[in-house]
Structure 1
Amino acid sequence: MNWKWSVVAILLIASISCMRNAKEKKELPVLGAKDVVRQDENGENYIDTVYAQIDDFSFTDQDSNTVTGDYYDGKVRVVDFFFTSCPTICPKMKKQMLRAYEEFKGNKNVKFLSHSIDTRHDSVPVLNDYANKLGIEANQWKMVTGPEDDIYSIADEYLVSASEDSTAPGGYVHSGAFVLIDQNHQIRGYYDGTLPKDVDQMMIDIKSLLEEE
């Protein structure tokens, strides 16, 4: 009898493991604004849902290269907002982003994109120095700057907060979220960039998006 119960126990453990994997790797929803439109196909009308995509943009990275939305066509990317002199959540966020970067290092289909919201201080040389201290490669993790209005506008596109605030530590406030964007420039997830467990789930979700290709 003992060996039979051992077999049952092994099967139960395997079943639970499969259930957990299925739960963790569930299909990700498309988030953000959507429009319901009427399409015509072969003379017949049908209702279709169209989800918003992140608009094109143009910024400058830590190597003085221009970065546009086209660079991320067909790629999964993780996006955040920060500033190099941030005394609060940014160090925690960068520690967690670096962990995800190391997990997917060398994967040409996974990119990381950090926008500085301190456009006066965070010049290209400052961003370059910051990136070098993290030990990251610009072809996979870009730190960008640009006109202040453009930075805040793209933050709105990602549905996260970013603004100057003289009463805040460091003079700025911003979301601590990591935003997961799919190969079609659509939002697929939000994660607390200061929490390891959230970033663990984000890495699972990145792998799920890669399997959607």
Structure 2
Amino acid sequence: MVREVGNSLASTADSIRAEGRFTDAAEYYSRAAFECFGDGVSAPYGITTSFGEQYLLESATCHLISGNQNRLENRAKIGILVAEDVLNRECDQRLTSAYDQARRGAWYEFIGDFRLLRGDDPSRSYDQARNMYQKFGDPPASLAEQEHLNLFAFYRSVLRIADGDPMVQQETIDEGSLCEWVDHKESTLPESIEDVREMESKNS
């Protein structure tokens, strides 16, 4: 039920963002995120929480465009703390499957994406994600579970905003391994974020 409410709020945010009302959209994305976080503790592997992380990334992106730096930084701080909390909780679990161990790397990716949005260097977080994937066999990205699907969705969202066409279809990003996915993201997402950042002067 909580995730359904969050997804509904995020759908409203999508519509508002398409109208160019980025500050209003950011607030709806934040509300969507907090709805999802409210159910995160009981969800296995932080699945519901990963929706919240995606929506908080979307909120921070909208604040970036609107020039709301303080709100952007606050959303990023919250997102990083949530990801760290999931990592700490899952480290206490007995995950016997190598794939289940590897998928924890997604939370380092979330941290890196939030750091990138607020203008910090995300490379250490992306390296931690790659190290996790390599340690447990570097699974194919095509086997991605919900955490990575949320990361993919945010990536595509940024590229669509940077491209200026909300309907544009981006390239397939799940044909290689998870390490290759992080390599691809690290080589392309920063430029797209800078393109989005340049939109701030047009919307301030």
TM-score (normalizing by structure 2): 0.27
TM-score norm. by structure 1 comes to 0.26
> Relative contact order (C-alpha < 8 Å, sep 6+): which is higher?
1
Please state which structure has a larger fraction of its residues in helix: 2
Which has the larger strand fraction?
1
